[in-house]
Amino acid sequence: MEGYEPIMSFGEDVAEIYGDLQRGDESATVVFLEQLAGRGPALELAIGTGRIALPLAARGIRVDGVDISPAMVARLRAKPGGDQISVTIGDFADVPVPGTYRLIFVVWNTLFNLLTQEDQVRCFENVAAHLTDDGSFVVEAFVPGFLYRLRSDQYVDAEAIRVDEVRLDVLRHDMATQMIEESHVSLSSAGVRLNPVVQRYAWPSELDLMARIAGLRLKDRWGGWNREPFNSTSSTHVSVYGR
Ligand X SMILES: C[S@@+](CC[C@H](N)C(=O)[O-])C[C@H]1O[C@@H](n2cnc3c(N)ncnc32)[C@H](O)[C@@H]1O
Residues near ligand X (CB under 6 A) are 6, 10, 46-48, 51-52, 66-69, 72, 91-93, 107-108, 110, 113-114
Q: Which is nearer to ligand X, 93 or 128 (CB)?
A: 93
Q: Closest distance between ligand X and the C-beta of residue 201, in Å?
A: 14
| Cβ(214)–Cβ(179) below 8 Å | no
Report the residue number whose CB is nearest to ligand X. 48
> Which residue, 11 or 204, is less far from ligand X as judged by CB?
11
**Single-letter amino acid, residue 217:** R
Distance between the two ends of the chain, CA-based, in angstroms? 37
Helix (H, G, I), strand (E, B) or coil at 46: coil
Shortest distance in whole angstroms from residue 113 CB to ligand X? 4
Shortest distance (Å) from residue 232 CB to ligand X: 26
Please give the C-alpha separations between residue 195 and each of 105, 137, 178, in angstroms, as whole numbers: 25, 30, 20
CB of 103 to ligand X, least distance (A): 14
**Toward ligand X, which CB reaches closer, 30 or 240?**
30
Q: Which is nearer to ligand X, 58 or 187 (CB)?
A: 58
| Sheet strands (E) in the chain | 42-45, 63-67, 87-89, 101-106, 131-142, 154-161, 165-174, 179-188, 191-200, 217-222, 236-242
